[in-house]
């Protein structure tokens, strides 16, 4: 099943709910199956790890956890604030995403 989401890897997003409400960050990855996105530096959790090659000491490390995509909005490239996303056919005949606030295309 191929779901179309309004958020892609690399987008700048605004968090509109949860502990990190009001913050912005870059999307590192999107989990389509669970409708979640991992945003750089947001929703940090502590993970207990055993010693391994990457972390020879082991211990507690901080890492990002997923945020449900319904709590994220793409940041408008022109105005800088959160915006809704629309889809329209571009010049080359492909679907492109655009910001509803400014009408500008989102790369």
- pLDDT tens digits, one per residue of 15-73: 999 999 999 999 999 999 999 999 999 999 999 999 999 889 999 999 999 999 999 99
61 is a domain residue: yes
Q: What is the pLDDT of residues 66-107, one digit of tens each?
A: 999 999 999 998 888 999 999 999 888 899 999 999 888 888
What is the model's pLDDT at position 107? Answer: 81
Tell me if 99 sits within 8 A of 106, measured CB to CB. Answer: yes
65 is a domain residue: yes
What is the model's pLDDT at position 3? Answer: 73
What is the model's pLDDT at position 85? Answer: 92
What is the model's pLDDT at position 4? Answer: 82
- Give the chain's domain count: 1
| Contacts (Cβ under 8 Å, ≥6 apart) of 98 | 85, 86, 87, 88, 104, 105, 106
**Residue 50 sits in which domain range?**
12-75
What is the model's pLDDT at position 23? Answer: 96
pTM assigned to the model: 0.83
Distance (Å, whole) CA 107 – CA 92: 14
Which DSSP string do the residues of 17-74 spell out, in sequence order?
Answer: SSTTTT-EEEEEEEETTTTEEEETT-SEEEEEE---SS-TT-EEEEEE-EEEGGGEEE
- Taking 60 as the threshold, does the pLDDT of residue 1 lie above it? no
User: CATH number for the domain including 26?
Assistant: 2.30.30.30
| Contacts (Cβ under 8 Å, ≥6 apart) of 28 | 9, 38, 39, 40, 64
Q: Which of 17, 13, 19, 4 is nearest to 81 (CA)?
A: 13
């Amino acid at each position: 099943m191929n779901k179309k989401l309004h958020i892609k890897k690399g987008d700048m997003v605004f968090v509109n709910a949860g502990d990190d409400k009001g913050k912005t960050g870059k999307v590192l990855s999107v989990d389509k199956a669970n409708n979640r996105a991992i945003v750089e530096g947001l929703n940090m959790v502590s993970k207990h790890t055993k010693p391994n090659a990457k972390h020879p000491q082991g211990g507690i490390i901080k890492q990002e956890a997923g945020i449900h995509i319904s709590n994220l909005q793409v940041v408008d490239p022109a105005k800088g604030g959160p915006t809704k996303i629309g889809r329209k056919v571009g010049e080359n005949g492909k679907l492109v995403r655009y910001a509803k606030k400014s009408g500008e295309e989102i790369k």
